[in-house]
Structure 1
Amino acid sequence: MFVDVHSHVVPSGDDGVGSVEEGLALCRDAHAHGTSLLFATPHVWPQLPLTEDREEEIRRAYAEMAPVAAEAGLDLRLGFELTPAPALLEEDLTRFTLGALPAVLMELPFAGPLDLSQRVAEEIEARGLTPVIAHPERADRVIDDPEIAAGYAERGWLLQVNATSLLEYHGEAPFDTGWLLVERGLADLVASDGHRPARPPLLDDAHAAVRRRIGERGDALFNGAALGRLASVAERV
């Protein structure tokens, strides 16, 4: 069974699902395709910050969805996906953790400098948390220089590659870079980044592709092994 650390299946006002019903349909689909633990990670954008009102609405939707998902066999947990912004440097970053895990999911910009991303990740680290870098293979600076990602990995930051990148949904450059990170052993997690019915939170096709390329050692990218290095997922409920 798969652990998926990145999805947008809880309605939050971002570009993910628009309703609890739509989100639950994706949860059932994810479970039917082999996912047993799914983190919902609503976007926290500069233009869509996590205000108290927004957080309350998200947590209310999550509280409605989690028991229904559990009845269907899926463990649904809540985190957030940060887009680097100066305001985050003044935030209590512990409010954005992946459930009870001491980790925060943070994306890199698809284009442009990574200086602010580095500062936010270092601030996450300074709070005793581990940055989980979402889809670095889609960032133009990493595509141009994959050693940037290698540097993150050397610091102990976790690298999360999108399943869709490995299936070439985002073009040739993210496909090549994603596979480079996987084959060099730099990637720690493969996640769906599922948003809606047209982009569902599925991992089975990517898992099969990884198995074909690198064999059984690729299973660790899908079973949450990297999260277990931070803390046992089961023990941190």
Structure 2
Amino acid sequence: MFWDVHSHVVPSGDDGAGTLEEGLELCRSAAAHGTSVLFATPHVWPHLGLSSEREERIRAAHAELAAQVAADGLDLRLGFELTPAPSLLEDELGRYRLGDLSAVLMELPFAGPLALAERVAEEIEGAGLVPVLAHPERAEAVIDEPGRARAFAERGWLLQVNATSVLGYHGESPEETGWLLLEQGLVSLVASDGHRPARPPFLDDAYEAVRRRLGEGADALFNGSALRTLEITGRSGNAAAAGAVRRG
């Protein structure tokens, strides 16, 4: 039922799953809570880049997990979550795509200005890909000035709000900002950003909360509508889909 575009269930040396066994437990729990498509998105940090050796380990771990959880009805796909860094401005950004989608997931920084993030997003767009901006509701710059998020959405960039934010797990300001963006129709995706058993990749509780406030409009935020379009028609089709979500 659910498409989850953001999780850290594949062991990769970041702050997500530490072992294949832990990753398997997280994946099976996600499936049991209604997720049918789950993107594993290991962090790409300035201090932990995607070297060829690290990428090989990640892809091998993903392949092993994907084979095991297929029997649970879970389609486990691989992408990456970029942290804005100057080095990305010179990188081949297509290597960070979300599976076979023409999209790249990038987080907005929790603190500080958004200028570098905006430049990286423009580079992603210049490469013919769609920026998916992770947890804008947790970024101080957006909390202080929510209009920044609207400007990004109006450029056709997809906003992904965390399920844990709308449930209040990150404090009052991210919760209020998350709901504001949702109610203004600026959000295209709600995702778990699940990391470990203490922060699992679940979407069901958030779905019920959003559906209570937004009605049937919640469905498109959880069923991957914006992403499904990327699989078929690419950038132009996605812009139309994102606009439909925002207008709905």
* TM-score relative to the length of structure 2: 0.93
Q: Partners of 1:103 and 1:191 in 2: how far apart?
A: 15
What is the correspondence of 1:182-201 to structure 2 with a 5 Å cutoff?
182-201=182-201
Q: Partners of 1:217 and 1:138 in 2: how far apart?
A: 23
Confirm or deny: 8 A CA contact 2:100 2:231 kept in the other structure: no
What is the correspondence of 1:64-143 to structure 2 with a 5 Å cutoff?
64-143=64-143
Instruction: Report percent identity of matched pairs.
Output: 72
CA apart distance, 1:15: 0.1
- Which residue type is aligned with residue 142 of structure 2? V
Confirm or deny: 8 A CA contact 2:188 2:226 kept in the other structure: yes
1:160 equivalent to 2:173? Answer no
Q: Partners of 2:84 and 2:180 in 1: how far apart?
A: 25
- Which residue type is aligned with residue 44 of structure 1? V
CA apart distance, 1:231: 2.4
Q: Partners of 1:216 and 1:83 in 2: how far apart?
A: 33
- Which residue type is aligned with residue 42 of structure 2? P
| Corresponding pairs, count | 233
Q: Partners of 1:108 and 1:134 in 2: how far apart?
A: 6
RMSD: 0.9
- Which residue type is aligned with residue 136 of structure 1? P
- Which residue type is aligned with residue 141 of structure 2? R
Equivalent position of 2:11 in the other structure: 11
- Which residue type is aligned with residue 89 of structure 1? L
CA apart distance, 1:230: 2.0
- Which residue type is aligned with residue 56 of structure 2? E
CA apart distance, 1:95: 0.2
* TM-score relative to the length of structure 1: 0.97
- Which residue type is aligned with residue 9 of structure 1? V
Q: Partners of 2:22 and 2:205 in 1: how far apart?
A: 22
Equivalent position of 2:226 in the other structure: 226
Q: Partners of 1:175 and 1:47 in 2: how far apart?
A: 29
Could you list the per-position Cα deviations for residues 24-65 of structure 1 after superposition, in whole angstroms to 9, with x for gaps in the alignment?
100000000000000000000001000011001101101111
Segments of structure 2 that go 5 or more residues without pairing to the other structure are: 234-248
